[in-house]
Amino acid sequence: MSEEKTVCIVGVAGFIGSHLLEKIIRERTWNVLGCDMVSPLKIQQLLGAEKKWAGRFSFTQMDIVKEPAKLKELIKQSDVVINLAAICNPSEYIKQPVNTINSNFTDAQDCINFCVEHDKHLIHFSTCEIYGRPLSSYGLPADEPKNYLLDEETTPMIMGPVSAQRWCYACAKQLVERLIYAHGTENNLKFTIVRPYNWIGPRMDYIPGVDGKDDGQPRVLASFMTALMKEEPLVLVNGGEVFRTFCAVEDAIDAVMKMVENPEKSQGHAFNVGNPDNNIKVADLAELMINMYSEITGKPKGTTRTVSGVEYYGPGYEDSDLRIPSMRLIQQQLGWTPPTSLKSAMEATMKVFIEKYADKVADLKRGQA
């Protein structure tokens, strides 16, 4: 049994926060101090619903930028701080680049400084996007692993020009990683950095018009689910020619738990957390989801339509074309390998989305007719 601890989760009411909280509350005896600026809809089921959990989890609704004193108090009371708070949806990088940079760089600084001041282990969420595009995208031989596998300790980070505002998120994340690393060397900050590769699962993002902005553009999983349930074509941005590796959120959460429980092996490192076996072209993901949705619901197969990136997201959109994580470091330090296939993660996730939303989306469609 692991030792007792208090974990502060900043951004606990989001997608990853909700899964991390659930794992800790159900499978450990630790206390959790959670905060988020949004209301805790995604973690409602854990908010005092069962007596056995009572007293182990407290939630504070707050914007960490507006209430630094409260954040400091939560951090002071914790052993480990996991910072998930960020704007991390590509549709926002172009609509609100200043907020994106502030959210991912400036707003993370209180958390870092309080961890330095109170000597806490900070587990900070970055992104696989900090690598930009792999060397194979710049003409180096695509069959040599060093040109496409993204390795924490050897791969250079190459992004598009400043005018391609898509990269403002990745640059802000990269700079905050460098700041955290600098605090590690200069001020003995105990840190671990997580670079997620397209984690997927229930509670990811929202369905526009049902539980989010009417005109919102969620990330690809929720976007494709929205189209399937509304019986509209799935949008393939620039033909869906780029690749992503998808990782089941429950596998990824196990990696984070290993980081919390093995500080001597996780501190001082930035880790890729993804599943290289689940690499797929976005257009093929659409086809997989169309077929799976039809099998699950018995409805006719959906269709796709292509839209340019600039049309869909706005001027300044560029895309990562390939992101395959090297597993070298995380296997060496934490012995972690993600077991779940894309098909099995997708099927489980789609069933939860359908159960939660299909009727509401049908009502929405009827209301619009």
Residue 220 CB, nearest distance to ligand UDP (Å)? 3
Report the nearest approach of ligand UDP to the CB of residue 55 (Å): 37
CB nearer to ligand UDP: give 165 or 198: 198
Helix 220-230 to helix 342-368 angle (10° resolution) is: 50
Structure tokens at 263: 């500080």
Rounded to the nearest angstrom, the gap between the alpha carbon of residue 121 and the centroid of all alpha carbons in its chain is: 20
Question: What is the tally of helices (H) and strands (E) in the chain?
Answer: 13, 15
Return the residue of 8, 9, 14, 270 that touches ligand NAD, per CB under 6 A. 14
Which part of the chain contacts ligand NAD (CB under 6 A), choosing from 15-23, 50-58, 142-150, 341-349? 15-23
* Nearer to ligand NAD among residue 99 and residue 262 (C-beta): 99
Binding-site string for ligand NAD from residue 112 to residue 141, where x marks contact by CB under 6 A and - marks none: -------------x-x--------------
For residue 334, the Cα-to-chain-centroid distance in whole angstroms is 20
Contacts of 270 (CB under 8 A, 6+ apart): 126, 152, 177, 181, 192, 193, 194, 195
Q: Does 107 bind ligand NAD (CB under 6 A)?
A: yes
- Which value, to the nearest 10 degrees, does the dihedral of the CA atoms of residues 38, 39, 41, 45 take? 120
Q: From the list ligand NAD, ligand UDP, none, which binds 111 (C-beta under 5 to 8 Å, kind-based)?
A: none
Q: Which residues pair with 192 in a beta bridge?
A: 123, 269
Whether 345 contacts 288, CB under 8 Å: no
Answer yes or no whether residue 47 interacts with ligand NAD by CB under 6 A: no
CB of 253 to ligand UDP, least distance (A): 19
> Rounded to whole angstroms, how far apart are CA atoms 127 and 194?
7
Query: Taking CB under 6 A as the rule, does residue 307 contact ligand NAD?
Result: no
15 binds, among ligand NAD, ligand UDP, none (CB under 5 to 8 A by kind): ligand NAD
The residues that touch ligand UDP, with contacts defined as CB under 6 A, are 90, 198, 219-220, 223, 235-237, 240, 242, 244, 282, 319
302 versus 323: smaller Cβ distance to ligand NAD = 323
Q: How far is residue 336's CA from residue 321's CA, in Å, rounded to a whole number?
A: 26
Pairing of strands 57-61, 31-36: parallel
86 binds, among ligand NAD, ligand UDP, none (CB under 5 to 8 A by kind): ligand NAD
User: For the chain, what is the largest distance between any 2 Cα atoms, rounded to a whole number of angstroms?
Assistant: 61
Cα-Cα end-to-end distance for the chain: 56
Give whichever of 11 and 134 is closer to ligand NAD, judged by the CB atom.
11
- The gap from C-alpha 172 to its chain's centroid, in whole angstroms, comes to 15
Q: Locate tokens 């930035």: which residue?
A: 270
Out of ligand UDP, ligand NAD, none, what residue 223 binds, judged by CB under 5 to 8 A for its kind, is ligand UDP
Query: 237 has which bridge partners?
Result: 307
| Positions 254 through 293 that interact with ligand NAD (CB under 6 A) | none
User: What CA–CA distance (Å, rounded) separates 286 from 275?
Assistant: 19
**Residue 16 makes contact with ligand NAD by CB under 6 A:** yes
Q: Is residue 206 part of the contact set for ligand NAD (CB under 6 A)?
A: no
**Closest approach of Cβ 66 to ligand NAD, in Å?**
8
Just list the catalytic residues: 169
Interacting residue with ligand NAD among 5, 23, 56, 65 (CB under 6 A) = 65
Instruction: Copy the structure tokens of residue 125.
Output: 């969420």
CB of 144 to ligand UDP, least distance (A): 24
Q: Which is nearer to ligand NAD, 253 or 286 (CB)?
A: 253
Partners of residue 57 on adjacent β-strands: 32
Say if residues 225 and 158 touch (Cβ distance below 8 Å): no
Q: Taking CB under 6 A as the rule, which mask of x and - marks residues 21-40 in contact with ligand NAD?
A: ---------------xxx--
Torsion of CA 357, 360, 363, 364, to 10 degrees: -90
Residue 13 binds which of ligand NAD, ligand UDP, none (CB < 5-8 A, kind-dependent) = ligand NAD
- Residue numbers at the binding site for ligand NAD (CB under 6 A): 11, 13-17, 36-38, 63-65, 84-86, 88, 103, 107, 125, 127, 196, 198-199
